Amino acid sequence: AGKNAGTSVMVYTPSLDRGRAERLALLADLHVALEQDELQLRYQPKLDLSRGAVTSVEALVRWAHPALGPLTPDAFVPLAESTGLIEQLTRVVLSQALQQCRAWQDAGLDLAVAVNLSARNVNDVTLPEHVAGAVVEAGLPAHKLILEITESSVMGDPERTVPVLERLAAIGVTLSLDDFGTGHSSLSYLQRLPVRELKIDRSFVRGLSLPREAQASAILVRSIIGLARSLDLRIVAEGVESAETLDQLRDYGCDVIQGYYVGRPLRAEDIEAAGPFPVLT
Ligand code: C2E
Ligand code: CA
Ligand code: CA
Ligand code: CA
């Protein structure tokens, strides 16, 4: 195996270029990782402003690679997506997140858990049945699960994806539209989707605190919030890094705040000990 090939035992022909060989090695390692529990979840708090409390957390996957060290999703999620391994990855993440949610419930901590879906997942007609089974297996009511989807993953083949989403919504799972504003958003398609939550993309939130972009970002964020309000969606702002931005978003009518200011992605045990989250006046 190549120099950076981790624990893989694959053998490469010299004609394979280095980048491709590394991807293949990482892919082989990811197969092993999925079997051997090398994937870990971090949980980032979502602060509900009206209640002044953290009412949900987003599960974010990490890979403790035995040779390369801890890897963030950008290093392996796209690879999993392009090879189909994402179906297994999502199932592993979903099951782990639901089990953790159940453990929190048993410990008296009332938290919903959000799991990210990829395009391939929302095109998978077997997903709703699997999700229903996983929720039952964890012994949780379906509303404890939030599934985050992106507009681009839905809009690739809406004839196929919309029925999958409708079945998920029928189970009682909450659907959340992630990275909102980065794709081809339009009112007409938003109305067709059974989503209950909309997450304003981090790039717009970040723009609020950049002098040269603040004014344009404020207009954009306020119009997204107005749109979401008119559709009766819960509005989440992600990537909030300061008290100033939190206050501004609260003034604009945001319901939920997520970002480093509220809390970084944490280990499950640190979620329990994380308080106090910023106290609201
Ligand atoms: P995302 O769903 O938009 O998740 C938010 C990302 O922003 C996370 O990065 C999070 O750590 C980061 N973040 C949160 N608050 C702040 C902040 O205040 N400032 C800044 N600068 N960043 C913040 P992460 O964990 O590296 O995840 C990146 C992306 O990988 C996620 O974007 C999501 O699309 C994907 N991903 C993560 N976990 C999973 C998973 O289990 N399954 C799938 N399919 N995708 C996942
Ligand atoms: Ca997300
Ligand atoms: Ca996002
Ligand atoms: Ca993103």
pLDDT by residue for the chain (281 residues), tens digit each? 344 545 555 555 555 567 888 889 999 999 999 999 899 999 999 999 999 999 999 999 999 999 999 999 999 999 999 999 999 999 999 999 999 999 999 999 999 999 999 999 999 999 999 999 999 999 999 999 999 999 889 988 999 999 999 999 999 999 999 999 887 666 678 888 999 999 999 999 999 999 999 999 999 999 999 999 999 999 999 999 999 999 999 999 999 999 999 999 999 999 988 765 654 44
Q: Looking at ligand 1, which atom is closest to the CA of residue 115?
A: 41
Would you state the pLDDT for residue 203? 94
Probe target for ligand 1 pocket from 60, 124, 204, 209, with the most ligand atoms within 8 Å of CB: 60
Give nearest CA residue, ligand 1 atom 45.
116
DSSP H or E segment with residue 58: strand 53-65
Would you state the pLDDT for residue 1? 37
Ligand minimally distant from the alpha carbon of residue 73: 1
Strand 39-48 with 53-65, pairing: antiparallel
Query: Is 221 in contact with 204 (CB distance < 8 Å)?
Result: yes
Would you state the pLDDT for residue 2? 44
ipTM above 0.95, yes or no: yes
How does pLDDT run across 154-174, given as a tens digit for each residue? 988 999 999 999 999 999 999
Distance CA 265, CA 60 (A): 7
Ligand 3 center–CA 239 separation, angstroms: 8
* CB of 77 closer than 6 angstroms to any ligand 1 atom: yes
Question: CA angle, 223 as apex, 43 and 163 as ends, to 5°?
Answer: 60
Q: Looking at ligand 1, which atom is closest to the CA of residue 81?
A: 44
How does pLDDT run across 218-255, given as a tens digit for each residue? 999 999 999 999 999 999 999 999 999 999 999 999 99
Q: Angle, nearest 10°, between helix axes 86-106 and 127-138?
A: 30
Give nearest CA residue, ligand 1 atom 27.
73
Distance CA 264, CA 9 (A): 36
